[in-house]
Amino acid sequence: MLRITPDHPHPLFDIAATRRLEQAATAALPPHTLMQRAGLATARLALALAPHARTVWIACGPGNNGGDGLEAAAHLQRWGKQPVVTWLGDEAKAPADSLAALARARQAGVVLAAAPPTALTRQDLCIDALLGIGSARAPEGRMAEWIARFSRGVAPVLAVDLPSGMNADTGTFATNPIAESAISIRAAGGFHAQYTLSLLTLKPGLFTAHGRDAAGQVWFHDLGVDSAAQTPAAILQGPPLDGPRAHATHKGSYGDVAVIGGAPGMAGAALLAACAALHGGAGRVFVALLDPQAMPVDTSQPELMLRCASSLDLAPMTAVCGCGGGDAVRHLLPKVFSTAAHAVIDADALNSIATDTQLQTLLRARTGRDGSARATVLTPHPLEAARLLGASAVQIQADRLGAAQQLVERFGCVVVLKGSGTVIAAPGQVAAINPTGNARLATAGTGDVLAGMIGARLAAGRPAFQAACEAVYQHGLAADRWPEDRALTAGELAAANR
Ligand SMILES: NC(=O)C1=CN([C@@H]2O[C@H](COP(=O)(O)OP(=O)(O)OC[C@H]3O[C@@H](n4cnc5c(N)ncnc54)[C@H](O)[C@@H]3O)[C@@H](O)[C@H]2O)[C@@H](O)CC1
Ligand SMILES: [K+]
């Protein structure tokens, strides 16, 4: 059993691949083996998480997720824990594995309770074994009532396989898969589990959209099944593998970044991106501000070379384009697309592309299918992604991996779909989901910082997908390590990045 942290990469498998693995393993093993392993793993983790629990409530659903709960109940009962088990199944309809688990639970002395326990303390534990990957609709009736109890109570919740009701592929909830609410997961029909034990495979939905909030601390048990035969839907990213810089290098070795943006009133966005590129290791950083009244030098960052956009030779450079660019950036995009060696396209530049088919054609024309030649990285947040795809932000959030792939197919670029569990997708690559970062990044300017960080890595010659993955990871990691008592501002984040 593994506790999942951002320190290592992990393959993530969707429901279809998980079902295929389950079927193959079931056929190769004695009956009920997988569920028995799942139940034992659940019981062990429950005991480790709540060693002093006086009451363990196991809420079991009608399918095999409920079966895992019943198997766990049998073990806990034998270990002297006397779990309170409520089961929503029907013996006439329950799947065979689940029925076998029910029989084993009864044999161990478990008596099914008619209702959940009324008074649970912080030391107690709820085990959510209502629904797993078979969740098909919004929970109603007693199931919905029990899920609401998880939220209301003080006892921590251990979700078996997934927080019940969550879609394992997308990290959304069936009640309202489209709820934008980052604040209220309950509005989205979900709840916060403190722990989730993902079984057989790790699922992408645990790490993006509402999944990160809903799943809490994620644990994983492979049930002894090797997943190598299936292609992952995504990779949960691990840390960058880059070593220290070689001694025999100079500023030319790390390339030039040109930040183009900062229309009147928005110079700060471009300067933040430039600062991030500088601290991210770019050899030289030029800034073309689109405000005619802009200052000729930034005295707080004299390393930045402020130039007029028309004077920049972008051919050998990485353009970071759009940060605070307003509508003024639009007329510069044809030059950027046709000349810049590499490009990061952010914010207002994305909005310009969304409404201009000629720009879309130029954008598609610059990227080789391998994503490396004249590499281009698009960095939309969900609303920008929605504009690019002619959809709503709600639709983007309902399937973030799918939306990122659609953008890749449409524009042939590397795509960084920002938000909780940022998705990085590229032509011909298995997508990545970033495990770092937190809500403290939800503040003005942090997106500009990310664009600059990606730009610095592109300028240093990293392949575009790798540059994007590394920058997103480090950006999130900086936020995760940010001191609790210090406000996280984009300016400080830009200066702190590596
Ligand atoms: N079959 C096996 O050997 C194994 C199964 N495993 C567990 O089994 C789970 C998958 O089992 P299932 O395919 O039975 O699926 P689930 O147990 O997730 O749910 C399916 C059942 O719930 C019902 N249902 C779906 N949505 C509902 C709703 N909103 N309200 C009420 N009922 C609803 C369905 O009609 C069906 O009866 C996995 O997530 C995992 O926890 C694991 O133990 C691995 C081994
Ligand atoms: K569950």
**CATH 3.40.1190.20 domain residues, the chain:** 251-496
- The tokens for 341 are 């060696």
* Biggest CA pair distance of the chain: 81
Q: Of the residues 131, 143, 191, 221, which should be mutated to test ligand 1's pocket, given the most ligand atoms within 8 Å of the CB?
A: 131
Rounded Cα distance between 250 and 227, Å, is 45
Task: Using the predicted structure, report yes or no on whether residue 245 has a pLDDT greater than 80.
Answer: no
Q: What is the CATH number that goes with domain 251-496?
A: 3.40.1190.20
pLDDT of residue 190: 79
Q: Is 155 annotated as a binding residue?
A: no
Is 255 annotated as a binding-site member? no
pLDDT of residue 203: 98
Q: Is the pLDDT of residue 179 over 60?
A: no
Q: How confident is the model at residue 374 (pLDDT cuts 50, 70, 90)?
A: confident
3-state helix, strand, coil in the chain (%, to 5): 40, 15, 45
Q: Which two tokens stand for residue 1?
A: 């059993």
Report how far residue 137's alpha carbon sits from residue 488's, in angstroms, rounded to the nearest whole number: 39
Query: Is 67 known as a binding-site position?
Result: yes
Check pLDDT > 70 for residue 180.
Answer: no
Checking if the pLDDT of 406 tops 80, the result is yes
Alpha helices in 197-343 (DSSP H): 211-215, 267-279, 333-339
Question: At residue 286, what are phi and psi to the nearest 5 degrees?
Answer: -100, 150
Residue type, 486: R
Of 60, 65, 176, 225, the residue with max ligand 1 atoms within 8 A of its CB, to mutate for a pocket test, comes to 65
Taking Cα atoms as reference points, which of 46, 92, 38, 44 lies closest to residue 67?
38
Q: Which of 344, 189, 373, 175 is nearest to 274 (CA)?
A: 344
> What digits encode the pLDDT tens for the residues 274-300?
999 999 999 999 999 999 898 888 888
- The rounded Å distance from CA 263 to ligand 1 centre is 53
Band (pLDDT 50/70/90 cuts) for residue 373 is low
Q: Cβ(234) to ligand 1 under 6 A?
A: no
Q: How far apart are the two ends of the chain, measured CA to CA in Å?
A: 33
How far apart are the C-alpha atoms of 261 and 309, rounded to whole Å?
9
- CA-to-CA dists, residue 37 to 33, 77, 89, 196, 224, angstroms: 6, 16, 21, 16, 8
- ipTM here: 0.98
Gap from CA of 95 to ligand 1 centroid (Å)? 9
DSSP 341-359: SEEEE-HHHHHHHHT-HHH
Closest CA to 257 of 247, 271, 244: 271
Residue 185 has what pLDDT? 73
Check if the beta carbon of residue 220 is closer than 8 Å to that of residue 2: yes
φ, ψ for residue 470 (rounded to 5)?
-65, -45
Distance CA 395, CA 422 (A): 16
DSSP letter for 251, please: G
Residue 181 has a pLDDT of 45
pLDDT band at 244 (very low <50, low <70, confident <90, very high): low
Residue 156: CB within 6 Å of ligand 1?
A: no
pLDDT at 177: 46
Task: Verify whether ligand 1 is closer than 6 Å to residue 372 (CB atom).
Answer: no
Tell me the pLDDT band of 182, cut-offs 50, 70 and 90.
Answer: very low
Helices (H) and strands (E) in the chain, counts: 16, 18
Cβ-based neighbour number of residue 472 at 10 Å: 26
pLDDT value of position 186: 72
For 203, phi then psi, to 5°, come to -105, 145
Q: Is the CB–ligand 1 distance for residue 95 below 6 Å?
A: yes
Check residue 184 and give its pLDDT: 66
Q: How far does residue 67's CA lie from ligand 1's centre (Å)?
A: 8
Question: Residue 325 annotated as binding?
Answer: no
Quick check: 369 pLDDT over 60?
no
Mean pLDDT of 483-495: 94
470 lines ligand 1 (CB under 6 A): no
Is 90 labeled as ligand-binding? no
For 147, the token pair is: 């899920």
Q: Is the CB of 68 under 6 A from ligand 1?
A: yes
**Closest ligand 1 atom number to CA of residue 160:** 41
Spacing, Cα 366 to ligand 2 middle (Å): 46
CA of 55 to the centre of ligand 1 (A): 25
CATH topology of domain 2-230: Rossmann fold (3.40.50)
pLDDT (0 to 100) of residue 462? 93
With bands split at pLDDT 50, 70 and 90, how would you rate the model's confidence at 254?
confident
Q: What pLDDT is attached to residue 366?
A: 84
Strand 284-289: give its sheet, edge to edge. 10-12, 234-236, 431-433, 423-425, 414-417, 376-378, 342-345, 318-321, 256-261, 284-289, 305-306
CA 212 to ligand 2 centroid distance, Å? 15
Q: In this predicted model, what pLDDT tens digit does every residue of 132-168 receive, in sequence order?
A: 999 999 999 999 999 999 999 999 999 999 999 999 9
Considering only CA atoms, which of 325, 326, 176 is closest in space to residue 260? Answer: 325
Question: How remote is the CA of residue 65 from the centroid of ligand 2, in Å?
Answer: 6
Question: What pLDDT shows up at residue 250?
Answer: 67
For residue 160 and ligand 1, the question of a CB distance below 6 A is answered with yes
Is any atom of ligand 1 closer than 6 Å to the C-beta of 64? yes
From-to residues of CATH 3.40.50.10260 in the chain: 2-230
Q: Is 19 a pocket residue for ligand 1 (Cβ < 6 Å)?
A: no
User: What is the SS3 assignment for 234?
Assistant: strand
